[in-house]
Structure 1
Amino acid sequence: MGLVSTTVRSAHLVSNAAWFGGSLMGAVGLNPASREGDDLRERAEISGAGWEKWGPVQGAAVGVHLLSGLAILADNRRRTLAHPPTTVAVLLKTGLTMAAVAASAAAYRSGQQLGEAAGEDGRSQDPQRAQELSQRMSWLQWATPAATGGLLVLDAYLGEQQRGLAGLLDRRR
């Protein structure tokens, strides 16, 4: 394996780890912490401030992940076409990647809309819309870490396909 291939694969894995970790931290830490605010506006500001700081990092991680994934696919095109288990895994990875991008974009947009729904006085001008957006965010915040976690599992599976017969955990005969 060459240096370029190792660098591209590393960028692919590290960018997915950042995407996964950042979205999981948001779901587990930042979003629940924002509920400490006194009203809807303050809660939206707390959560929004954290996501605004993380957003550029997450965006870069998604971009690097997508570009490095295309490079890996181009490098492994023969294996992907000739080996059915690899073909299936790559198709699953493609679908999960699209789902993760869609979930990230939907969460971003819903978060913005929720911030806009918070009135100046901390009370929503449209409480029903704010409640609807809050409910959407309660499940949507978990969609990105679920999808990107699935990508990590598929990367491990694809790595195992390239491994030799004897591995670290295999019994010696």
Structure 2
Amino acid sequence: MTMTATDNHAVAQAVHDVGSALWFGGTVMGVAGVNKSGSDLQQGIDRIRVAESAWNRFSPVQWLGIGATLLAGLRLTQVGGRRIALQKGFGTVGALKAGITVAGALATAYSAYCGNRIGQLAEAAHQRGDRLEVHDATVPAAGTPAEIATWQRRQRLAQFVVPALAGANIVCGSYLVQSYRLGATGKGVLRRLLPD
């Protein structure tokens, strides 16, 4: 059985969409559940440790989703690039989507780095015998050491930027899929040929 360009598109689209869903869903779960789950524990160090442990376990899966999004996105551009280039507006959205995806991957890496710094600083404080007060993994308390609180604020900002970018990636992808509809193709080509 040979694969046609349409088959390649369908497979690449499925890999892209599953990867994007994994990336977006995981980060939303992290914001809503993982980072907050430590607040149910008594000790500040445990509040940080539980979130760090969960993120360390999920991180390979998250990066698998990001990798699938990036690689399948490249394949989709190869398979449908000519069609997108012919239709006014789709090329711009494609470029925007690529930029959003790269920015989202960088934001994810920065968020992971922030979490790692929080964990390292918390463990160092715990080893020194310092009292570590935090509300949860990303929200400092009045008694949180200044350096940890700084990294928690950075992490809190990054944790909202990542799902926003991952979600924007999905939205742009949904728009680009419309380039394969017959009506959208006709309108897009006419808009390209007939100036406003």
Question: Match for 1:123 among 108, 131, 144?
Answer: 131
Which whole-Å deviations, capped at 9, do the CAs of 1:8-30 have from their partners, x for residues lacking one?
Answer: 11000000000000000000111
1:20 aligns with 2:24: yes
Q: Quick one: structure 1 residues 4 and 79, their matched pair in 2 at CA, closer, same or farther if it must change by over 3 Å? A: closer
Does the 8 Å contact 1:8/1:72 carry over to 2? yes
In terms of mean alpha carbon deviation, does 50-59 or 74-83 score higher?
74-83
Which whole-Å deviations, capped at 9, do the CAs of 1:134-173 have from their partners, x for residues lacking one?
Answer: 111112111111001111111111122322339xxxxxxx
Does the 8 Å contact 1:16/1:65 carry over to 2? yes
Does the 8 Å contact 2:27/2:163 carry over to 1? yes
Which whole-Å deviations, capped at 9, do the CAs of 1:70-112 have from their partners, x for residues lacking one?
Answer: 1111112212333231111111101111111111001000000
Distance 1:70 1:165 in 2: 25
Normalized against structure 2, the TM-score is what? 0.78
1:159 aligns with 2:177: yes
After TM superposition, the structure 1 = structure 2 runs for residues 78-97 of structure 1, keeping only pairs within 5 Å, are: 78-97=82-101
1:144 aligns with 2:162: yes
Match of 1:37 in 2: 41
Distance 2:153 2:41 in 1: 18
Structure 2: which 5+ residue stretches go unaligned?
A: 133-143, 185-196
Match of 1:170 in 2: none
Match of 1:114 in 2: 118
Normalized against structure 1, the TM-score is what? 0.88
Question: Match for 1:46 among 45, 50, 53?
Answer: 50
Which 4+ residue blocks in structure 1 deviate beyond 4 angstroms? none
Distance 2:78 2:60 in 1: 27
Does the 8 Å contact 2:8/2:79 carry over to 1? no
Does the 8 Å contact 1:42/1:122 carry over to 2? no
Match of 1:134 in 2: 152
Q: Quick one: structure 1 residues 53 and 165, their matched pair in 2 at CA, closer, same or farther if it must change by over 3 Å? A: same
Question: Match for 1:72 among 76, 79, 82?
Answer: 76
**Identity of counterpart residues, as a percentage?**
27
Distance 1:108 1:132 in 2: 15
Structure 1: which 5+ residue stretches go unaligned?
A: 167-173
